[in-house]
Chain A
């Protein structure tokens, strides 16, 4: 089963 990743796990808030 595939799970959609979130962009928040790759990019940090500035």
Chain B
């Protein structure tokens, strides 16, 4: 049996909000360590890897491994009905045909209970070896989100160029072009405002702006985003959860 209680529904609300536009159907794998998901978008360009460790829950137990096949849009409809500050408990039997979601407000005078039908989802599972990266950028997630939104107004592609101590986001469109340069920066008082660049080799990669604008829906989850890049390889965008992560692997664009 699975029983996982979040102190606040807001964490799962944000996670589902970040995923629902990229993937429609997901298997949520529940083990004693927590809940994990791997899902690929229909175009097979973006892969989502979610890990909500048991430590992200106030109470968590899962005696036997359970797979919950969930339709993200339906899950989102139910999740939206709960208040962000409600306690949220996920409950499923050992061989479940439904996931129960219980929202309780903190004063315990209101309990809302929902049941979501499960689906049998046949999904490819991709093996992601330990990847080596040539460049790692830690930057404020809100800053990254603004750059992705701004650059998308110009072009469907966003070029990321990393040299020693700066990251250049470059966009070449039909009616004009634009770029934003971010430099390494340490804010000792507000560390979440800092930009850190760790570089082994210079990077010049191009990504689809549409996918980046899906990824930045994770912004409310974490004040910083970690971007890991390697020449001619998928990039990794990571948002840390209190205990766990939401990762996106994005395939680059190449010269034809």
**A and B associate:** yes
Q: How many residues of B contact A (CB 8 A)?
A: 23
In the complex with contacts A2-B157, A2-B206, A13-B124, A8-B44 CB distance below 8 A = yes
Q: A1-14 vs B: 1/0 string, CB under 8 Å?
A: 11111111111111
Asked whether, in the complex, the Cβ of B256 is within 8 Å of the Cβ of A10, the reply is no
- Docked Cα-Cα span, A9 to B252, in Å, equals 11
In the complex with contacts A4-B208, A7-B47, A7-B249, A14-B255 CB distance below 8 A = no
Tell me the A residues contacting B by CB distance below 8 Å: 1-14
Give chain A residues whose Cβ lies under 8 Å from the Cβ of B125.
13-14
Give chain A residues whose Cβ lies under 8 Å from the Cβ of B251.
4-7, 9-10
Give chain A residues whose Cβ lies under 8 Å from the Cβ of B40.
7
A2 to chain B, nearest CB (A): 4
Give chain A residues whose Cβ lies under 8 Å from the Cβ of B254.
2-3, 5
Determine whether B217 belongs to the interface, using a CB cutoff of 8 Å to chain A: no
- Docked Cα-Cα span, A4 to B250, in Å, equals 10
Interface residues of B in 120-178 (CB under 8 A from A): 124-128, 157
Q: B91-117 vs A: 1/0 string, CB under 8 Å?
A: 000000000000000000000000000
Asked whether, in the complex, the Cβ of A5 is within 8 Å of the Cβ of B253, the reply is yes
- Docked Cα-Cα span, A5 to B44, in Å, equals 9
Give chain B residues whose Cβ lies under 8 Å from the Cβ of A6.
43-45, 251
Of B46, B128, B206, the residue contacting A11 (CB under 8 A) is B128
In the complex with contacts A1-B256, A3-B253, A5-B251, A10-B234 CB distance below 8 A = yes
Give chain B residues whose Cβ lies under 8 Å from the Cβ of A13.
124-127
